[in-house]
Amino acid sequence: MYITSIMVSTGISIILAGIVYILLVKRINREKSSTAITEQVRNEIDRMVVDLNQTADRNIGLIEQQLKSLTEMIQEADHRISLLQKHSEKLNKSTDTYNQIRPSQIVKPKAPSAPESSEISPPNARTVDISKEMQPDTSLPENEGSQDGVTPPKRERIINLYRQGISLDIIASRVDSTVAEVELIISMTEGRR
């Protein structure tokens, strides 16, 4: 009996050791599989992070290109605005100059009869014969061979018309020129005196 009890206890121990062994193997396999799953999840997350970084870099590059083009467009718009402001200032100056000169010239038609008391103009005002202004210019033809494009007869005509008190825009239309060119010729000629 003593041997049977040893054998029974040894058999039970072997069976228990076998059960423990099987349980440990299953647990180890489970841990290995969870480690593998965890590693797989980590790899997938790493790939996603890399893809997100690449996408973010590409989007940042596109945004930087758009910002650069917008900056260039803003600079071009600022340049055009400054040019328009300069042009507007020049136009305002010429308009102001014209408005300052224009009121001093009172335009009245020449009447064949004696002037009435209400038609007498102030002593510093110029009177201009409108009938002469409306007639076409039949003065000397311009020389086409001049180097600077403004021939001496044209200058003389401009100065003569100016001294007659004719407005600059009418002078410019008569000599087929611009008001600015007429103003320049008058200022250069009158400045020499």
| Residue 123: per-residue pLDDT | 45
Among the listed residues 86, 189, 173, 91, the one whose alpha carbon sits nearest the alpha carbon of residue 137: 173
| Residue 191: per-residue pLDDT | 73
Are 101 and 168 in contact by the 8 Å Cβ rule? The answer is: yes
Residue where the block lists tokens 């180890």: 28
Q: What are phi and psi of 68, to 5 degrees?
A: -65, -45
Residue type, 105: Q
Residue where the block lists tokens 């014209």: 98
| Residue 96: per-residue pLDDT | 76
| Residue 73: per-residue pLDDT | 94
| Residue 66: per-residue pLDDT | 94
| Residue 118: per-residue pLDDT | 44
CA geometry: angle at 89 spanning 86 and 91, to 5°? 110
Query: Helix/strand/coil (H, E, C) string of the chain?
Result: CHHHHHHHHHHHHHHHHHHHHHHHHHHHHHHHHHHHHHHHHHHHHHHHHHHHHHHHHHHHHHHHHHHHHHHHHHHHHHHHHHHHHHHHHHHHHHHHHHHHHHHHEEECCCCCCCCCHHHCCCCCCEEECHHHHHCCCCCCCCCCCCCCCCCHHHHHHHHHHHHCCCCHHHHHHHCCCCHHHHHHHHHHHHHHC
Residue where the block lists tokens 């014969």: 129
Per-position pLDDT tens, the chain of length 193: 778 888 888 889 999 999 999 998 888 887 777 777 788 889 999 999 999 999 999 999 999 999 999 999 999 999 999 999 988 888 888 777 777 665 444 444 454 554 444 444 444 444 444 444 444 444 444 444 444 555 568 888 899 999 999 999 999 998 988 999 899 989 888 776 6
Compute CA distances 92 → 79, 83, 86, 96, 97, whole Å.
20, 14, 10, 6, 8
Residue where the block lists tokens 């005196």: 193
| Residue 142: per-residue pLDDT | 43
| Residue 76: per-residue pLDDT | 93
| Residue 138: per-residue pLDDT | 43
For the chain, the structural domain boundaries read: 1-107, 125-192
